[in-house]
Amino acid sequence: MAFSAHPARIGMNSSLQIAAIVLQTISSLSIAGGLIFAAFQFYYARKAQHVANFTKLVELQMSLRRMRVEDPKLANVYTDDVRNLQGEEEIRYYFFNLMQLSLFEIAWYSHEQGQLSDEYFDSWVKRFKVIAAENSFRKMMLNPSMKILHDDFQSYAQKFVPGDAV
């Protein structure tokens, strides 16, 4: 006697196979979605670490500048740092302005890396424009010895200071 499948059983088997395929597809898509999400998390964590590293370097640079504000004689260690500066008061103003610039550089870099909102960065830009209009700041920016370590930021900051200032 030959075995023959019951028609109702064949339909039920097909339904189970389709359900199994649908569940496997959902499971596979969930795993793929999880991997994509993890990749984005790693990407943004890496960007945040870049901003943190950059911020730390600028903070260290600012510490050296603060030392020169507190003791202007230290600025004479590197003769190029005091080029065109006359006396302790000018040295203090110069390095104080560089410290202000460092703060804005951190905000700029954080914004460039997507870590600072446009709205908040715009408020920094407004304040920076006021500071950039100050004679002591313009004098600092136009001093040939003025150094910003990030070339793109230097180009950005220069836009706020007219060339004929001081």
Tell me whether residue 20 is in a domain. Answer: no
Rg (CA), the chain: 30
Tell me whether residue 107 is in a domain. Answer: yes
pLDDT at 40 (0 to 100): 86
Residue 104 and residue 124 in contact, taking contact as beta carbons nearer than 8 Å: yes
Q: In the structure, how many helices (H) and strands (E) does the chain have? A: 5, 0
Tell me whether residue 31 is in a domain. Answer: no
Q: How many domains is the chain built from?
A: 1
CA dist., res. 126 & res. 165, Å (int): 19
Residue 141 and residue 84 in contact, taking contact as beta carbons nearer than 8 Å: no
CA dist., res. 60 & res. 102, Å (int): 10
CA dist., res. 149 & res. 143, Å (int): 15
pLDDT at 166 (0 to 100): 43
Residue 75: which domain range? 45-158
Tell me whether residue 38 is in a domain. Answer: no
3-state SS class at 53: helix
pLDDT at 164 (0 to 100): 53
Mean pLDDT in consecutive groups of 10 residues from the start of the chain, 166 residues:
54 82 92 90 88 93 94 91 90 94 95 94 95 92 83 90 60
pLDDT at 44 (0 to 100): 86
Tell me whether residue 23 is in a domain. Answer: no
Tell me whether residue 140 is in a domain. Answer: yes
Residue 154 and residue 144 in contact, taking contact as beta carbons nearer than 8 Å: no
CA dist., res. 107 & res. 10, Å (int): 67
Tell me whether residue 25 is in a domain. Answer: no
Residue 138 and residue 165 in contact, taking contact as beta carbons nearer than 8 Å: yes
Tell me whether residue 100 is in a domain. Answer: yes
Residue 102: name the closest of 144, 139, 137, 50 by CA.
137
pLDDT at 2 (0 to 100): 55
Cβ neighbours, 10 Å, residue 40: 10
